Amino acid sequence: MESKQIHIPDNAEYRELKLFIEANSSTPGPLIQVLHRAQKIFGYLPMEVQHFVARELGVPHSQVYGVVTFYNFFRTEPIGDHIVNICLGTACHVKGASEILKALEKELGIRVGGTTKDRFYTLSTARCFGACGLAPVMMVDDEVYGRLNPQKTIQILKDLRTAQTVK
């Protein structure tokens, strides 16, 4: 299985990653650091990037894949331009966060962890944003929205999409 040939293009992103790997190859255990940089460059870690990292570091692809799939901060699928993060902490849960989440999944046509087909939104959850007094809470990118209900939440996302389209 390790012998499967993956085409790796020669472009600026791969050259940038190669330079980073070369600069950090003497660092003990550089894999996680390299994967973070790769994800920053590419936005996620598709299979061809994982194979490239494995080849450049001289480690089996299975080791790279194991690290990528073990840690939740690595992504193997592209994410949307905007991250919609719903708080599921106790205060938000009690105030109806699960209903908001269901409404968003229906409206966006994706489940938690998914990305809309146009790659505009990625839907995720977290346990607490530290804004319990505003429960239920959602973050879109770095903006916090509170005292939500399903209709208000959907309207916020529609307004963001409209604002982005108008630009």
Reported as half-sphere exposure (CB side, CA atoms, 13 A), residue 135 has a value of 19
Q: What is the 8-class DSSP label of residue 116?
A: -
**Strand locations in 49-94, DSSP E?**
82-87
pLDDT at residue number 5: 65
Dump pLDDT digits (tens) for 91-115.
999 999 999 999 999 999 999 989 9
User: How far is it, in rounded angstroms, from Cα 35 to Cα 120?
Assistant: 24
Could you tell me which residues are beta bridge partners of residue 86?
A: 125, 138
pLDDT at residue number 151: 98
Average pLDDT over residues 145-158: 98
Average pLDDT over residues 53-74: 94
Between residues 129 and 5, the one the model is more confident about: 129
pLDDT at residue number 73: 84
Dump pLDDT digits (tens) for 70-81.
997 899 989 999
pLDDT at residue number 82: 95
pLDDT at residue number 1: 44
The three-class DSSP label of residue 165 is: helix
pLDDT at residue number 99: 98
Between residues 161 and 164, the one the model is more confident about: 161
pLDDT at residue number 165: 81
pLDDT at residue number 167: 66
| Average per-residue pLDDT for the chain | 93
pLDDT at 61 over 60: yes
Average pLDDT over residues 32-38: 97
User: How far is it, in rounded angstroms, from Cα 68 to Cα 34?
Assistant: 11
